[in-house]
Amino acid sequence: MGCNHSNCAKIGCTPETLRAWHQKHLDQQNPIKVQQISDQEKMKQMEREIKELKRANEILRKAAAFFAQAELDRPHK
């Protein structure tokens, strides 16, 4: 797509932004690209969830160790 700087100035964007919008539009018209983008988004979401779950597991592991040690340190009757 040819991009004329005056047209970009009229709509308040850079030529790079206009090219990116155009490419995104073309990608959305291609079902294979849409599926690839959707799969990539799902993968990123799953990676975020895995990271969060690992963090939660680490917190739980530390809490369990803390309470187990507290139980051992507690004087028994």
Structural domain includes residue 7: no
Residues contacting 5, CB < 8 A, separation 6+? 15
Structural domain includes residue 46: yes
Structural domain includes residue 2: no
**Domain enclosing residue 24, as ranges:** 12-73
Number of domains present in the structure of the chain: 1
Q: Within a 10 A sphere around the Cβ of 61, how many other Cβ atoms? A: 10
Full-model pTM: 0.48
Tell me the per-residue pLDDT of 36-77, one tens digit each, with 9 for 90 and over. Answer: 778 888 999 999 999 999 999 999 999 999 999 988 888 877
Structural domain includes residue 6: no
Structural domain includes residue 68: yes
Q: What per-residue confidence (pLDDT) applies to 73?
A: 87
Q: What per-residue confidence (pLDDT) applies to 2?
A: 56
